[in-house]
Structure 1
Amino acid sequence: MGRTRIVVGVVGTLVVAAYAALLAVNALVLDPLAAVPGQSLAQIHAELTRQGFSVRGDTVAVVVVALIGVLLAAVLSVLLLVTRAPAHVIAAVLLAVVVMGTPASYVAAIAIGMDVADAFGVGGGDHTIWAGVLYVTSLVALVGIPVVLVVGQAAHVRRTALRTHAA
């Protein structure tokens, strides 16, 4: 059971890190390129800077939002492992971190997305399918939380009952 808990904590944190990486790449690279077709990222950044927008500040904001999720997942994993939480509880908590990726993605996208929208006269919404991938991933995680908790608790009760009868 101890190894399972560790694997769940590590894999869950890696899933959150992958989500955060896609969030950052989408907000900083893919979405601006899709919003302003025909321009390179360097050209987009140059125009933003010329118009007085802070590309550096936007980049820092997006990276900070992404890192908060990864750090939250890592800290929660360690705390749950130290307190010997069951694997299904660790999984549910890390799924909740993935669920929180949707509002984090929205906040991160606002940073540079609105600057691109204002500078180039394009819509401020999502311009790539990757934002949808993030949102659907969060939705699947949300649906998965009660499933993981119910199935995990049922298995935990079954194991406890078997141990009690065996003793």
Structure 2
Amino acid sequence: MTSSASLPARLVGPVGAAAVLAYAAFAALQIQVLNPLATMPDLTLEEIHDVIDGRDSEDTMGWGLMTVTLLIGPVTAVIVAILGVRGRVSAGTVAMIMLGLLSLGSLAYLVASFPAGMTLADTFMVGGADHAPWATILHSVSAVSLFALAGAVIARAVRTSMR
């Protein structure tokens, strides 16, 4: 690539990175706030944490794993966005990487939410799955991104084979 990026390359990276960051932030909100409140709707978030802290257990809400897992996508997205803005990576490649990161968001959410879900399950004797419906948004974004990525890869392959 050349060192001067086109307008699409300068826009795709930051927009994609913002989308990946928004996905990760919403996933964290779902894991640490929305799902606990949906699991125990009669309690406040503070009361939920008090009950968890009051147990004689090593269970935690998994802040460490969640933070590390959910930061992988945004950090990668920012690096790719910078490379795109600087013209080191084409706009199409940047877009495909961002779509790939969004596609993998569902898996990252599963890993990041596991400790919190199990802590809620063990503490309140409920199922460990999501109780809030908002994770559906995350999984839907990942699914749509996966199909868009497949379309972009196929389109690039067709364009390349016609040259």
TM, length-normalised to structure 1: 0.84
Larger radius of gyration: 1
Aligned to 1:25: 29
2:142 counterpart of 1:123: no
2:149 counterpart of 1:145: yes
Contact 1:89 1:149 in 2 (8 A): no
Deviation at 1:146, TM superposition (A): 2.3
**Larger proportion of helix:** 1
Deviation at 1:6, TM superposition (A): 1.4
Deviations 1:88-126 (A, max 9, x none): 111011100011111110011112111011000010001
Aligned to 2:105: 101
Aligned to 1:164: none
2:8 counterpart of 1:4: yes
Superposition CA RMSD, Å: 2.4
Aligned equivalents of 2:140, 2:133: Cα separation in 1:
11
Aligned equivalents of 1:134, 1:3: Cα separation in 2:
29
Aligned residue pairs total 158
Matches within 5 A, 1:68-87: 68-82=72-86, 84-87=88-91
Contact 2:6 2:87 in 1 (8 A): no
Alignment partner for residue 49 of structure 2, among 27, 35, 45? Answer: 45
Contact 2:10 2:84 in 1 (8 A): no
Aligned equivalents of 1:76, 1:84: Cα separation in 2:
9
Deviations 1:23-45 (A, max 9, x none): 00000000011011100110110
Aligned equivalents of 1:155, 1:3: Cα separation in 2:
21
Contact 1:16 1:97 in 2 (8 A): yes
Does the residue aligned with 2:88 lie in a helix, a strand or coil? coil
- Give ranges in structure 2 of 5+ residues lacking alignment: none
Amino acid at match of 2:114: I
TM, length-normalised to structure 2: 0.86
Identity of aligned residues (%): 31
Deviation at 1:130, TM superposition (A): 1.2
2:31 counterpart of 1:35: no
2:76 counterpart of 1:65: no
- Give ranges in structure 1 of 5+ residues lacking alignment: 162-167
Amino acid at match of 2:11: V
